[in-house]
């Protein structure tokens, strides 16, 4: 099963970079006086995406009274203003095609992207996640314990969610134990190509690269018991991510 992806850059783990982009379909308000005085704008941080029928509600944090724009290929763009505390809630129709969205703060014509991209699948069973080069994926839809396996062919990130403060036993080429953070997220870095079978708290997973992923990057495909995407950033970084299927009760 093959789905084209609209590829763009986003950000959350690095310094904001000013880009010049054209405004499109914006329904928001200008940044507040505090932002204008400092000259620095906080790139948006998405912390949740909830499904509401054919719409998705994207929630997160930005500069107080700032403007948040989420855009895809072909002129697709949605915008909203953050409140006085910087919280924002943006309603986005589920895209007709799997899409990698650019997420950025805007001040006039200047854009301040974050280094993650927001992945939203057209199929409700497909993953929703924040992807970043050189970092573990932050999955936002339901996962089975293991959220994702990321690799650039040499380094590997394995990540998932459980109860905050809980120890997670991961068995692959070696056995490791990690502890979930205050939000219940855990991460483990290693080496390899991301295809080594792993067992997490007694449950086995078999990460699989998507057929033809290297030849057709930025394309979401079915791969084993999950989904896989190979993607790249404008800076030339490349990474592939495998997502196990979400639990049947969450589909």
- Sequence length of the chain is 251
pLDDT of residue 223: 93
* For range 127-156, the mean pLDDT: 94
| Token code pair at residue 106 | 């805007």
Domains and CATH numbers, the chain: 1-124 (2.60.40.10), 138-251 (2.60.40)
Q: Are 9 and 113 in contact (CB under 8 A)?
A: yes
Question: For 24-38, 160-174, 191-205, 207-221, which range has the lowest pLDDT when averaged over its residues?
Answer: 24-38
| Token code pair at residue 96 | 């007709």
Say how far apart CA 28 and CA 62 lie, in whole Å: 13
Phi/psi of residue 8, each to 5°? -145, 170
Question: How confident is the model over 112-131, as pLDDT tens digits?
Answer: 999 899 999 888 999 999 99
pTM: 0.81
| Token code pair at residue 50 | 């909830």
- What DSSP element (H or E) covers 179? strand 175-179
pLDDT band for position 12 (cuts 50, 70, 90): very low
Give Cα 236 to chain centroid, integer Å: 18
Say how far apart CA 84 and CA 86 lie, in whole Å: 6
Q: Are 102 and 113 in contact (CB under 8 A)?
A: yes
pLDDT band for position 250 (cuts 50, 70, 90): low
**Percent of all residues in the chain with a pLDDT value above 90, rounded to a whole number:** 59
Say how far apart CA 63 and CA 36 lie, in whole Å: 11
pLDDT of residue 213: 58
- In the beta sheet, which residues pair with residue 228? 221, 242
pLDDT of residue 106: 94
Q: Does 247 have pLDDT greater than 90? A: no
pLDDT band for position 7 (cuts 50, 70, 90): very low
Question: How confident is the model over 63-94, as pLDDT tens digits?
Answer: 999 999 999 888 889 999 999 999 999 999 99
Say how far apart CA 11 and CA 148 lie, in whole Å: 19
pLDDT of residue 97: 87
Mean pLDDT of the chain: 83
């Amino acid at each position: 099963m093959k789905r084209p992806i609209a590829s763009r850059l986003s950000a959350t783990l690095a310094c904001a970079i000013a880009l010049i982009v054209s405004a499109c379909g914006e329904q928001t308000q200008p940044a507040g006086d505090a932002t204008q005085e400092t000259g620095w704008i906080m790139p948006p941080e998405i912390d949740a995406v909830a499904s509401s029928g054919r719409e998705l509600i994207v929630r997160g944090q930005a500069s107080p009274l700032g403007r948040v724009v989420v855009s895809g290929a072909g002129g697709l763009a949605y915008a909203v203003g953050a409140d006085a505390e910087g919280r924002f809630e943006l309603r986005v129709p589920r895209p007709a095609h799997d899409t990698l969205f650019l997420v950025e703060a805007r001040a006039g014509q200047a854009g301040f992207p974050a280094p993650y991209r927001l992945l939203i699948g057209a199929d409700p069973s497909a993953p929703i996640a924040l992807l970043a080069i050189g970092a573990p994926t932050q999955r936002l839809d339901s996962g089975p314990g293991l959220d994702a396996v990321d690799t650039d062919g040499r380094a590997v990130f394995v990540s998932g969610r459980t109860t905050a403060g809980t120890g997670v036993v991961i068995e692959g080429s070696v056995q490791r134990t990690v502890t979930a953070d205050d939000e219940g997220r855990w991460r483990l870095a290693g080496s390899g190509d991301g295809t080594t079978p792993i067992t997490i708290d007694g449950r086995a997973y078999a990460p699989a690269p998507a057929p033809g992923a290297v030849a057709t990057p930025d394309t979401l495909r079915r791969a084993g018991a999950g989904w896989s995407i190979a993607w790249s950033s404008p800076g030339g970084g490349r990474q592939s991510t495998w997502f196990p299927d979400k639990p049947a009760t969450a589909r």
